[in-house]
Structure 1
């Protein structure tokens, strides 16, 4: 099935999930996760109307999309994978938002490498799933991260993100998403001035559950592009 057809099917599923949960589909942003996808596949998604893309490997993203402003004017590109401190400078030059801020050390590096221009939009990642996943371990740790960002000049918080455990047990997946939503509520009580409007949660296997639990941004790879080429080590 063509990417355009996949995109339409995903939009239908988003609409159905919104109807079940009393929400509007206009509240949900759809990201195409283009990791391991070719430039031609990205072009096809672009021509189908998608404007938000996510990459999780900096070098791959730079190789494919360093000239994206010429190829895809208006594309919004987010970093969604773990960011190493030694790659922060390059990430600041390439991405419009870094979703995967998972520890204060990365925030410190951004402060050090920031050029002095507009702050970079970020999401703070909360660990809610498997032990192998990244993210701040607790809401208290998130609170400290918010305080650090507010005291600095390089970042502006736009919300939170998480990755649910990869399991067929929907109750565990739902609890993961619910944990992030509850974290947002607790943080807003402490920091009512902070923008936490983005809840980035939900991927191809679980985005409908995520929408039911409050997601405002779903990160879709396989359901949009098909199975990824795993020759690069995945």
Structure 2
């Protein structure tokens, strides 16, 4: 069996093309323009060579969980690919806020006041602030990151006051053992209530369902890069 790091480039390119075709089909079935859905290729734990293969196949938006790993892959690629966009999608420690602000285009995991304050201070020091998404723990799972549902509305309002239009939307990761659709609908409802245009939801197993529920970002890793290698 081939490992992710030794896949022929044509395999990764074919997988990427298949995901794009599925996005087009899901958007069409939902009566949406497929251009309204952005594919975030989740490259966490996969080598730089796989990112380069995806770039060669035309992919420009990537997601990483860890700031340090993202910093080792992406800054050097921007000279060749100035339209590259990096999303940080994993739980973010406050002591990594400045590095995150320095390298990311979008931070999808804002989930608590302490992190909001750390990002605001980092933005002042760096002179830039990425777009921000609030991660909502729609399943109220204690082991997961994300603001609890009962605190989400107040936190969203506070962050709108603090960050203005840099707060672009919401993100969720539904419980793995539950039907994701009710969680997608909850997130969509919250985003609409607060007038937030970006809804990040759906992964390799359920992104067509997320598109049907008006996701504007889908985060797809395994379906593009293959099985995730062990965490370093």
TM, length-normalised to structure 2: 0.88
Judged with a 3 Å threshold, the aligned counterparts in structure 2 of structure 1 residues 153 and 213 are, in CA distance, closer, same or farther, namely closer
How many pairs does the alignment contain? 221
| Structure 1 unmatched ranges of 5 or more | 189-195
Matched, 1:90 2:125: no
Tell me the residue number matched to 2:225: 225
Distance in 2 separating the partners of 1:85 and 1:220 = 26
Matched, 1:162 2:169: no
Cα shift at 1:133: 2.0
Cα shift at 1:71: 4.2
Cα shift at 1:166: 1.3
Tell me the residue number matched to 2:121: 112
| Contact 1:160–1:199 under 8 Å retained in 2 | yes
Tell me the residue number matched to 1:39: 48
Matched, 1:122 2:129: no
TM, length-normalised to structure 1: 0.88
Deviations 1:50-107 (A, max 9, x none): 0000100111111222323224322100110000001101111111110111111100
Q: Quick one: which of 111, 121, 127 aligns to 1:102?
A: 111
Structure 1 runs, 4 residues or longer, greater than 6 Å off: none
**Mapping for residues 47-196 of structure 1, pairs under 5 Å:** 47-115=56-124, 117-129=127-139, 130-138=141-149, 141-152=151-162, 156-167=166-177, 169=178, 172-188=179-195, 196=196
Cα shift at 1:115: 2.5
